[in-house]
Structure 1
Amino acid sequence: MAWEKKKKKAGVLPPDGGWGWMIVAGCFVVTVCSRAVTRCISIFFVEFQMHFARDYSGTAWIHSLVDCTTMLCAPLGSLIGNHLSCRVAVILGGFLASIGLVLSSFATSLEYLYLSLGVLTGLGFALCYTPAIAMVGVYFCERKALAYGIAMSGSGIGTFVLAPVVQLLIEHYSWRGALLILGGLVSNLCVCGALLRPIALREREAYPLPVNSECGCGASPQGAVGPELERPPQPGEQRCLQPLQEYQFLLMPNFLALAGSFLFLASGCSLPFVYLVPYALDVGVSHHHAAFLMSILGVIDIVGNVTFGWLTDRRCLKQYRSVCYMFAVGMEGLCCFLVPLLRTFALLVPFSVLYGYFDGAYVALIPVVTSDVVGTRYLSSALGVVYFLHAFPYLVSPPIGGWLVDTTGTYTATFLLSGFALLSSALLLATVTAVRHCQAIPRNRPGKDRTREKCEAQQPDFMTTNKDLLIRNPATL
């Protein structure tokens, strides 16, 4: 017993397998039940319009509220996961999301659905989404990108499978019965939460290292450790400082640059999903072919999740994950700039393939690059902030895109806005990375300066002047 307690206290390295694959499976189901179900809510819009005699703009707020609440309350999921456990957060979130869908099946007005389906279900998804994603980063280090690629592919696979199933459920059981059945499906989130077995990593690996370390889990491949605390805090002081320590990453310049990039990304990434089908219909593509474009986009999204995750786990690309992320987002922006030139179904198919692939690629890399910047210790809190930053752009960018269509009479300005936002996301991160790289060059100069810095670093007396150094060791020159 004493040996087991000592082992538990010491912690372990990320296993990169074993029960970690069950964590990936649980996170996969979480993305199916949260992101895929959210996308399928739009299938109910026609039924809601007919039953409640409301227009499309009124019913569209349901989807916006679910998406916005899920992202807006993501920090709450991180908070519960940090202070209780990820298992508790996901089980509680699954219960709330299921109750929200079940209560929605008894809706008597659209305002009722705003609260039950929009707010309550969205809150449940928020409590599940961030802790489940953070747990994958805790269990994986060497194969982190692949694990995230598989876990995040649940959104595309779930949409591909659930969309026709939901339509059949509505036809056979009405929209009320379909929502009731979806509530039962989403209750499986509680089972997924039970799979999230906590794991204690070694304390020294909890501190974040620089971004260029090969392994973003808090320990470098050479066995280097993060910075130690100068003075261990007292128990009372530790309790007071704990909430602040969880968000210390907000002062990291690398994370602030990443956060700015995510804001631009969220402003542009949803517009093609909303306006691709209307644009295709506007240029003369049939309804069947226009819907097929979205199917292509969804399937290739899955391919991008898994293959790009696998590629960026290779030794030659692992230290360039942020560059791969910038490349994927930038390619999406270029694809959007080309859309106004694509006016036939044959030309829009390559767009769906390319955009879908790079969309899946960057989605899989968001938690990976976040982990590489902040380390495993802060990953849950950082992901909560990251997804919180998506909330407002997700809420306002589709209406802005629609306003541009109404104002200009074409979809050109909308797709150009999407492309500009995505390219700005990639260029912001690339600029900051280039500046920090240039600042690091003088510190890595070979020859005399580097020898002197090495000598100074080895000197135990930090108050020693350069003059004293030369007197003690004139051979440094």
Structure 2
Amino acid sequence: MSVILTVGAAFCVNALSVGPMKSLGVFFIQYERELGASAGQASLVTSLLYGAFFLSGPFATILANRFGFRQTIILGTLLASAGSIGCSFSQHIAVVHATIGIMTGVGFGLVNVPTIALIGIRYKEKRSFFNNIVTMGSALTAIPLSPLVQLWIDVYGWRGAFLLIGGVILNVIPSCLLMISTKMNKQIAPAKRRLIDLSLLKSITFPAYAVAAGCDMAAMVAITVYLVRFAQDRDVGNYIAASLSSVISIVDLTLRPISGYITTLTNIGPIPIRRTYYFCGVACIQALVVIIFPFTQSIYAIVAVTVAYAICIGLRGALSITILSDLFGTDKLVSSLGLRAFAVGTFSAATPPLIGRIVDSTGSYDAPFYASAMMSVISAILVSMVQIIILRREKEAARKTKSINVDETAEYKL
């Protein structure tokens, strides 16, 4: 019963924090029309949001280890809600950058790291499956939220929509209180734990994996920021364009449990499963799918490619987080999540504005998809290299151990 309560509450926390982030692409055209922002300035909002979300990872790790997971999540919720509410009073795009971009992004980051770390620490054997269940929350929320936000904009204006989103975010607090009891909060953040373990940076493998994770997330952020605007540029109606995010979420939501189950297995019949290679294979397929977007013209073609892209996202699920534990250990999970998040944030913040400049200069929304495909391939290559290096180190360590045991046995016989 406690497992169901904890995982269910974590599902709700993810749904009410990461879920709204996936729906904010609907505001892109509002920034351009109402505040006179360029494509680069408008894309910078989501760029800052995702950048602050991930760059706050080390800060979230320190706060969680110092003050407790529950306190950190509540603080993040209040900050994220304040950013959304404050954005509703914006008169200039720079204020939107500061509020919904930085304040809300940092707040969501403080919520996300402790939530994911909690699942990884408490449920080691089934963390792949439970991570997928928890992260399904954001997909479930995004299904109705994207068209609902468009409805709020039409009825209450974009300022009223941000006020309502701020209220939605506050519901994270009761979910957090259900997820983490006072006793559990003390158990998962002992006083002797390092605030953040920087020993991960001593080897080339973790920085390489962090860069791979950054490229992977930047590839998805590029699609999140520009997919709706790309469809609108192809003369697709606002509601239908906004619903593309819901299409991705529906497919993602359907496939995540399957992905979670498959990646908990060690073999499918005679075929061994290694999570890292599975991740890399799907990432390469995703790159091939994404590169088709610029060649689509009709709404039917756009929806078809969107579904194919969503299948790739769903088949991977939360695997990027799960293989983090596989490669670097559960005992360093809180620190590795925070440090990974910092690298991911750097890429997420830098990518959309750079692409926005290309969009502004060319007047075409094709560039985001080419960039996304390229970054997915780079990510797959780097993750494969990290896995190969770690496997070689493990084999070398096993060989040395065997050699020492043989020498000790021989000495004993003598």
- TM-score of the superposition, structure 2-length normalised? 0.84
Distance in 2 of aligned mates of 1:116 and 1:189: 19
In structure 2, what is the equivalent of residue 455 of structure 1? 406
Distance 1:413 1:57, change over 3 A: closer
- C-alpha offsets along residues 80-127 of structure 1, whole Å, 9 cap, x if unaligned? 111111111001111222223333334454443333333222222121
**Structure 2 unaligned spans of 5+:** none
- For residues 149-168 of structure 1, the aligned pairs below 5 Å read 149-168=132-151
- For residues 267-416 of structure 1, the aligned pairs below 5 Å read 267-280=218-231, 290-291=241-242, 293-316=244-267, 320-405=274-359, 414-416=368-370
Distance in 1 of aligned mates of 2:324 and 2:345: 18
1:162 partner amino acid? L
Aligned sequence identity (%): 25
Distance in 1 of aligned mates of 2:359 and 2:82: 38
Question: Does structure 2 retain, via aligned residues, the 8 Å contact 1:304–1:361?
Answer: yes
Distance 1:251 1:173, change over 3 A: same
**Structure 1 unaligned spans of 5+:** 1-17, 207-237, 460-468
In structure 2, what is the equivalent of residue 463 of structure 1? none
What CA RMSD, in Å, does the superposition of the two structures yield over aligned residues? 3.4
SS at match of 2:267: helix
SS at match of 2:22: helix
Question: Does structure 2 retain, via aligned residues, the 8 Å contact 1:303–1:357?
Answer: no
- Post-superposition offset of 1:55: 4.9
1:397 partner amino acid? T
In structure 1, what is the equivalent of residue 123 of structure 2? 140
Structure 1 position 181 matched with structure 2 position 164: yes
In structure 2, what is the equivalent of residue 116 of structure 1? 99
Question: Does structure 2 retain, via aligned residues, the 8 Å contact 1:336–1:419?
Answer: yes
Among candidates 207, 213, 234, match of residue 262 of structure 1 = 213
Using CA pairs below 8 Å that are at least 6 residues apart, which structure has the higher relative contact order? Answer: 2
Among candidates 5, 10, 13, match of residue 30 of structure 1 = 13
- Post-superposition offset of 1:29: 2.3
Distance in 2 of aligned mates of 1:40 and 1:202: 32
SS at match of 1:377: helix
1:80 partner amino acid? L
- C-alpha offsets along residues 156-215 of structure 1, whole Å, 9 cap, x if unaligned? 221112122223333443444333332222112222221223268799xx9xxxxxxxxx
Structure 1 stretch displaced more, 192-201 or 32-41? 192-201
2:259 partner amino acid? F
2:221 partner amino acid? S
Distance 1:443 1:282, change over 3 A: same
In structure 2, what is the equivalent of residue 85 of structure 1? 68
SS at match of 2:84: helix
- C-alpha offsets along residues 23-53 of structure 1, whole Å, 9 cap, x if unaligned? 3223222222222222333434555555545
- C-alpha offsets along residues 214-262 of structure 1, whole Å, 9 cap, x if unaligned? xxxxxxxxxxxxxxxxxxxxxxxx97x9446x23223344423321311
The structure whose residues are more often helix, as a share, is: 2
In structure 2, what is the equivalent of residue 473 of structure 1? 413
Structure 1 stretch displaced more, 111-120 or 179-188? 111-120
SS at match of 2:330: coil
Structure 1 position 250 matched with structure 2 position 201: yes
Distance 1:33 1:168, change over 3 A: same
1:265 partner amino acid? D
Distance 1:114 1:419, change over 3 A: closer
Distance 1:350 1:164, change over 3 A: closer
Distance 1:52 1:267, change over 3 A: closer
Distance 1:59 1:265, change over 3 A: closer
Distance in 1 of aligned mates of 2:100 and 2:94: 10
- C-alpha offsets along residues 41-88 of structure 1, whole Å, 9 cap, x if unaligned? 343455555554555544443333222211111211111111111111
Distance in 1 of aligned mates of 2:70 and 2:289: 40
- For residues 47-126 of structure 1, the aligned pairs below 5 Å read 47=30, 51-52=34-35, 54-55=37-38, 57-126=40-109
Distance in 2 of aligned mates of 1:283 and 1:108: 30
Distance in 2 of aligned mates of 1:53 and 1:334: 35
Distance 1:128 1:283, change over 3 A: closer
Structure 1 stretch displaced more, 387-396 or 252-261? 252-261
Distance 1:279 1:44, change over 3 A: closer
- C-alpha offsets along residues 134-167 of structure 1, whole Å, 9 cap, x if unaligned? 1111221222111111111122221112122223
Distance in 2 of aligned mates of 1:49 and 1:350: 28
- TM-score of the superposition, structure 1-length normalised? 0.74
Distance 1:199 1:178, change over 3 A: closer
In structure 1, what is the equivalent of residue 180 of structure 2? 196
- Post-superposition offset of 1:129: 1.1
Distance in 1 of aligned mates of 2:170 and 2:364: 43
SS at match of 1:142: coil
- C-alpha offsets along residues 270-290 of structure 1, whole Å, 9 cap, x if unaligned? 223334445556667676765
2:338 partner amino acid? G
Distance in 1 of aligned mates of 2:162 and 2:371: 35
SS at match of 1:314: coil
Structure 1 stretch displaced more, 299-308 or 331-340? 331-340
Q: Kindly tell me the number of residue pairs found equivalent between the two proteins.
A: 408
Structure 1 position 426 matched with structure 2 position 380: yes
Distance in 2 of aligned mates of 1:51 and 1:279: 19
Distance in 1 of aligned mates of 2:28 and 2:231: 21
Distance in 2 of aligned mates of 1:54 and 1:416: 24
In structure 2, what is the equivalent of residue 220 of structure 1? none
- Post-superposition offset of 1:390: 1.6
Distance 1:470 1:150, change over 3 A: closer
Distance 1:53 1:69, change over 3 A: same
- For residues 3-14 of structure 1, the aligned pairs below 5 Å read none
